[in-house]
Chain A
Amino acid sequence: MADRAPIGSGWRERAPAVLIVFLLAATPLVARALGDPFIVKVATRVVVFAIAAVALNFVVGFGGLVSLCHAGLFGVGGYVVGVLAWHDFNAEPLLFLPGTSNLLVSIPAAAVVVGLLAAIVGAISLRTSGPYFLMITLAFNQMFYYGAVALQKYGGEDGLQIMSNVTLGPFDMSDRYRFFYLALAFLAAAMFVLGRVVRSRFGMALRAASRNETRVIAVGVDPWRYRLVAFVISGVVVGIAGALLAAGQQFISPVDMGWDRSGDLVVMTVLGGIGSVWGPALGAAAFVVLELVLSSWTSHWQLAFGLLVILIVVGLRGGLADLGALAFGRRGTETAHG
């Protein structure tokens, strides 16, 4: 019955993702029951970084490309939303277009801008591989960072505050519950779509190229093009995450795109487990919640955090997703990875 039919259709892959979305969807109810609406804000941050980590893992876990410019792309997405809202609030046209605080316009705009940038960065960076790819993407990340610092009109290093009320069509999105479900919808969509892509012919070629490049070339596939498309898809999704961060906290700053934030995203991804589409979402949740909880206990929290990271990487080879797999009674991570 239910446990037989889905074999081969990716159900095992999808079940944990569905579970994650359902658990997250319940947090506002928990927040209301406990009378603690702050939980929803934490959950929103978890969801935003989960989208970013899932996006990053699309190139890390399935393309074998460790990118350090994802915080830069993330920040650009945020700046698109912020700059459009700034022009809306100040009633000053941007070139010849009016600004907007409507996410129906600004999120797609962010996706397009980040997608274009990712195409340029990817086209150049994908000439390299391995650690060289890591470092050339770091270089691009720094260019995005200094680019944002140079935006004096939009606050420079101080960052850009969104003064207008962010909307989604006719809906006011300053309501935290509403905004949370919007972000969650994006996370669910990202995991669903990226999961489909991973299992498609395209995804198979991408994964094959990361394991044995020569063989893939021998059968007439140009890995560079596959990787570029994957990089752009990943960039678009991380740009949307950045757009959601800016809209949710009504603020974006160059600090959100520093190289250390790129490093954080890699840590979330690997911490969660790169073998599955949903693993990095666990990593993002662990990262955000641990950071918040540990730092409220002691100002030496980074010692505990560092040791915890070491313990996890020594003990769990597939990241936190292994815990999930253990709970499910099998090594679920191997399906996609090996």
Chain B
Amino acid sequence: MTSSLLIEQLLNGVQFGVMLFLMSAGLTLVFGIMNFINLAHGSLYMIGAFAGAATQAATGSFLLAVVAAPLAGAVAGLALERGLFQRFYARDHLDQVLVTFGTILALNEATRIVFGLTPLRMNLPDALAGHVEIIPGVPYPTFRLVILGVGLAVAALLYVVIMRTRIGMWVRAGASDRPIASAMGVNVPLVFAALFGVGAALAGLAGVMAGPILSVQVGMGEPILILALVVTVIGGIGSIRGAFVAALLVGIVDTFGRILLTPALGGMAIFMMMAAILAFRPKGLFPAHG
């Protein structure tokens, strides 16, 4: 492998990882801080992608699509949280798995009824459709660089908000001790609902960013959900920093596994990595609690 190809593949790995991070950030926050396993996180990603594609089809604007998708994700997420999921915060993980599993089936089928069977199209504006030669002789798709930039910006923003602001403090307080946080005047249900909404908006954003690269179709949320769960667990549930590192790790290992190993082994690469990491670090790379 030549060095420019090696750098290109590394970039591919990092870019794929950053896309997984967009998806995993919301999942790990909801999972870690609210102790709620939301398998329907992939459905919110799908809703974002469909909302984006529909907005673009109606208005012709990619920018509006990028705005509409996180909004749609947040609205759908909040509706689910208030209407259904909040009853399950105090219940067993298994009940949470079951209720969100039912939600996946229902939302997938509802999307199919509304949008029909043919996958939707998302076009890129001309400015983003081309490629840039960042490595000499290797043109790289502009839009993938945009995903890279958006993902890094979201990571930085989340880190600052959670670690350095009052809102972040409430969130951390609500997670570590709910009754005491309530007693001290933090409106925990409100904080949780807001947090769920932010997680859902991030999933919607991930959906619309994936739209121009991947097929916008019913069921698109589940394969990416599995990868996001892998990232969440390797990073340590609830840790944004862990999710970021794990996402890059998964992106890079998956990329190089695919080009260096046989197809069957390549498909297994990230799962073998996860098993190995958890065998030695049973709470992931950056355990958030204890």
Q: Do chains A and B touch in the complex (CB under 8 A)?
A: yes
Q: How far is the CB of B210 from chain A (nearest CB, A)?
A: 21
Most chain A CB within a 10 A radius of its CB, from B222, B262, B265, B282 = B282
Q: How far is the CB of B66 from chain A (nearest CB, A)?
A: 29
Q: Complex formed: what's the CA distance from A143 to B113 in Å?
A: 35
Which of B37, B110, B264 has a CB less than 8 Å from the CB of A149? Answer: B264
Closest to B97 in A: A266
Q: Complex formed: what's the CA distance from A40 to B106 in Å?
A: 30
CB <8 Å contact, A313 and B102:
yes
Report if A127-B112 is in contact (Cβ < 8 Å); known contacts: A142-B268, A307-B106. Answer: no
Q: Mark A255-288, 1 if CB is under 8 A from B, else 0.
A: 0000110010011001100100000000000000
CB <8 Å contact, A136 and B97:
no
Q: Complex formed: what's the CA distance from A281 to B128 in Å?
A: 55
Does A165 reach chain B (CB closer than 8 Å)? Answer: no
CB-defined contacts of B103 to chain A, threshold 8 Å = 306, 310
B 192-239 contacts with A by CB, 8 A:
222, 226, 229-230, 233, 237
Report the tally of A-B residue pairs with Cβ distances under 8 A: 124
B 274-290 contacts with A by CB, 8 A:
274-275, 278-279, 282-284
Q: Complex formed: what's the CA distance from A260 to B222 in Å?
A: 10
Q: Enumerate chain B interface residues (CB-CB to A < 8 A).
A: 31, 37, 84, 87, 91, 93-95, 97-99, 101-110, 112-113, 222, 226, 229-230, 233, 237, 262, 264-265, 267-268, 271-272, 274-275, 278-279, 282-284
CB <8 Å contact, A136 and B275:
yes
Closest to B287 in A: A132
Q: Complex formed: what's the CA distance from A140 to B274 in Å?
A: 10
CB <8 Å contact, B84 and A127:
no
Q: How far is the CB of A188 from chain B (nearest CB, A)?
A: 26
Q: How far is the CB of B42 from chain A (nearest CB, A)?
A: 12
CB-defined contacts of B274 to chain A, threshold 8 Å = 135-136, 139
Which of A135, A150, A260, A307 has a CB less than 8 Å from the CB of B102? Answer: A307
CB-defined contacts of B94 to chain A, threshold 8 Å = 60, 66, 266, 270, 274
Q: Complex formed: what's the CA distance from A127 to B229 in Å?
A: 19
Most chain B CB within a 10 A radius of its CB, from A139, A142, A300, A307 = A139
Report if A135-B104 is in contact (Cβ < 8 Å); known contacts: A128-B282, A142-B268. Answer: no
Does A335 reach chain B (CB closer than 8 Å)? Answer: no
CB <8 Å contact, B275 and A140:
yes
Q: Complex formed: what's the CA distance from A317 to B92 in Å?
A: 10
Q: Enumerate chain A interface residues (CB-CB to B < 8 A).
A: 60, 66, 124-125, 127-132, 135-136, 138-140, 142-143, 146-147, 149-150, 259-260, 263, 266-267, 270-271, 274, 300, 302-303, 305-310, 313-314, 317
* Shortest beta-carbon contacts, A-B, top 4: A306-B105, A306-B106, A309-B102, A303-B109
Report if A310-B31 is in contact (Cβ < 8 Å); known contacts: A135-B274, A146-B267, A302-B108. Answer: no
CB <8 Å contact, B272 and A270:
no
CB-defined contacts of B37 to chain A, threshold 8 Å = 131
Q: List 12 A-B contacts (CB under 8 A).
A: A128-B279, A132-B284, A142-B271, A266-B97, A270-B97, A302-B108, A303-B109, A303-B110, A307-B106, A309-B105, A314-B84, A314-B99
CB-defined contacts of B97 to chain A, threshold 8 Å = 66, 266-267, 270
CB <8 Å contact, A127 and B271:
no
Q: Complex formed: what's the CA distance from A260 to B221 in Å?
A: 13
CB <8 Å contact, B226 and A132:
no
CB <8 Å contact, A136 and B279:
yes
CB-defined contacts of B265 to chain A, threshold 8 Å = 146
CB-defined contacts of B110 to chain A, threshold 8 Å = 303
Closest to B237 in A: A131
CB-defined contacts of A314 to chain B, threshold 8 Å = 84, 87, 99
CB <8 Å contact, A127 and B279:
yes
Q: Complex formed: what's the CA distance from A146 to B258 in Å?
A: 14
CB <8 Å contact, A127 and B278:
yes
CB <8 Å contact, A130 and B93:
yes
CB <8 Å contact, B278 and A132:
yes
CB <8 Å contact, B31 and A131:
yes
Report if A143-B268 is in contact (Cβ < 8 Å); known contacts: A132-B278, A303-B106. Answer: yes
Q: How far is the CB of A301 from chain B (nearest CB, A)?
A: 8
